[in-house]
Amino acid sequence: MHSKKERQQTGLTLLEGERLVLEALEQGVRIDSVLGLPEFWGNHPAWVHRLAAAGISTYTVTPKQLEMLATTEHSAGSLAVVARPEWNPELLWAQAEKPAFLGLMAAGIQDPGNLGTIFRTLVAADGKGAWFSEGCAELASPKVLRSSAGTVLRIPGVEHADPAVVIKRNRELGVQTLAAVPKGGRPHTSLDLTQPTLLVLGAEGEGLRPEWMNACQYTVHIPMPGGTESLNVAVAAGIILYEAVRQRRLAPVKRGAEGEQSIGDHARGESDGHHASGGFKRT
């Protein structure tokens, strides 16, 4: 299960380390088997009983065997063979219809570390799910699972999505769509992120295609007074998502209307991007 082809053929993938195996157990993921070094089982006697009670096979392996099976140099003494995470797209669309929706569309993000970190941040920010285009890193890859700290197993992540279709349908549902860009557009603090929101991110270097940016209601950037060309895509995602967290803690979440301005001019300065928290009002 070290290759994408093998994972797709078997419907299985690997989770390495105690934390990821626990995450799989808590999320009800189908676990085929768990393999561990003798000292791992000796240090975790409760695991044997818990896994046996769940009908999960357990095996004791040697360090050499574990090294051959693992994808990392340090696998924390254990790994599990689990069902490849796959979500019904309709589960995610059902979330997009809710007033507190916060989601993400990733287009062409190939680095598994970045993709997993973005997903982990989305979950931490109480995001409800994400779409991933062709060309993105595979969600079931051990590297994405590891960098996401297993959060890929928690909320819907739909692969092979068409950004144009995702943006259009979200807008039809009343979700405001924001295209993240290095420069231009609105500062990320100038929009009302208490509304249902979809953040659209492109790959580092290439960014978003013009047609995807134009399909979104707004383009949004993060001010960089130090003058750097751009931010790492995972860092940028975290900053914008946590601006949504900040705003939602200060104001009630509301369903937006397609095409209306998010925060009135009286509530924020158009020139500098700052807004007054008291400017949010229920529609």
What pLDDT does residue 96 have? 97
Summarised one tens digit per residue, pLDDT across range 93-145 is 999 999 999 999 999 999 999 999 999 999 999 999 999 999 999 999 999 99
Q: How confident is the model at residue 75 (pLDDT cuts 50, 70, 90)?
A: low
Max avg pLDDT among 23-32, 52-61, 86-95: 86-95
Mean pLDDT on 22-27:
88
Domain boundary among 35, 53, 83: 83
Are residues 209 and 138 both part of a single domain?
Answer: yes
What pLDDT does residue 121 have? 98
What pLDDT does residue 73 have? 67
Instruction: Tell me the helices (H) and strands (E) count for the chain, helix number first.
Output: 11, 11
> Looking at the predicted structure, is the pLDDT value of residue 282 above 60?
no
Between β-strands 186-187 and 176-180, what pairing exists: parallel, antiparallel or unpaired?
A: unpaired
Are residues 25 and 165 both part of a single domain?
Answer: no
Q: How confident is the model at residue 180 (pLDDT cuts 50, 70, 90)?
A: very high
Q: Which of 184-193, 204-213, 214-223 has the lowest mean pLDDT?
A: 204-213
SS3 281: coil
What pLDDT does residue 44 have? 85
Reading the block at residue 174, the tokens are: 């009343």
What pLDDT does residue 216 have? 98
Are residues 164 and 93 both part of a single domain?
Answer: yes
> Whole-number mean pLDDT of the chain?
86
Top pLDDT among 267 and 228 is at 228
Owner of token pair 């953040």: 199
> Looking at the predicted structure, is the pLDDT value of residue 273 above 60?
no
Are residues 41 and 101 both part of a single domain?
Answer: no
Host domain of residue 11: 4-83
CA 213/CA 216 separation, integer angstroms:
5
Summarised one tens digit per residue, pLDDT across range 202-211 is 987 788 999 9
What pLDDT does residue 257 have? 46
Contact between 95 and 101 under an 8 Å Cβ cutoff? The reply is: yes
CATH of the domain at 208: 3.40.1280.10
Q: Would you tell me how many other CB atoms lie within 10 Å of the CB of residue 41?
A: 17
Top pLDDT among 2 and 125 is at 125
Q: 216-227 burial, b for 16+ CB within 10 Å, e for fewer? A: bbbbbbbeeeee
Are residues 61 and 126 both part of a single domain?
Answer: no
Are residues 187 and 218 both part of a single domain?
Answer: yes
> Looking at the predicted structure, is the pLDDT value of residue 249 above 60?
yes
Q: How confident is the model at residue 71 (pLDDT cuts 50, 70, 90)?
A: confident
Are residues 73 and 94 both part of a single domain?
Answer: no
Max avg pLDDT among 1-5, 47-51, 202-206, 210-214: 210-214
Give residue 55's region: left, alpha or beta (phi > 0; psi -120 to 50): left
Query: What is the identity of the amino acid at 85?
Result: P
What pLDDT does residue 254 have? 63
Are residues 48 and 101 both part of a single domain?
Answer: no
Number of domains within the chain? 2
Are residues 102 and 239 both part of a single domain?
Answer: yes
> Looking at the predicted structure, is the pLDDT value of residue 281 above 50?
no
pTM equals 0.84
Contact between 18 and 78 under an 8 Å Cβ cutoff? The reply is: yes
Reading the block at residue 123, the tokens are: 């979950």
CATH of the domain at 60: 3.30.1330.30
Reading the block at residue 129, the tokens are: 């799910």
Mean pLDDT on 183-204:
95
Are residues 106 and 75 both part of a single domain?
Answer: no
Mean pLDDT on 75-81:
84
Domain boundary among 83, 98, 116: 83
Domain boundary among 83, 111, 129: 83
Write the CB contacts of 133 (distance below 8 Å, at least 6 apart in sequence).
105, 106, 107, 108, 160, 161, 162, 163
Are residues 119 and 175 both part of a single domain?
Answer: yes
Are residues 36 and 115 both part of a single domain?
Answer: no
